Chain A
Amino acid sequence: MDETQLRLDGNAAAGMLREVFVHEMSAARGACASCGAIAQMGSQHLYMYPLSPGAVLRCQYCDNILKVFVHAGEHYRLGLQGLTWLEIRDGAEAGTNV
Chain B
Amino acid sequence: MLQPAISPVPATSSSTGRIEAVDLTGDSKVFWDKNNEAEVAAARASFETLTRKGYRAFRLGADGSTGEQIREFDENAERILMLPQMRGG
A binds B: no
Q: Which B residues form the contact surface with A (CB < 8 A)?
A: none
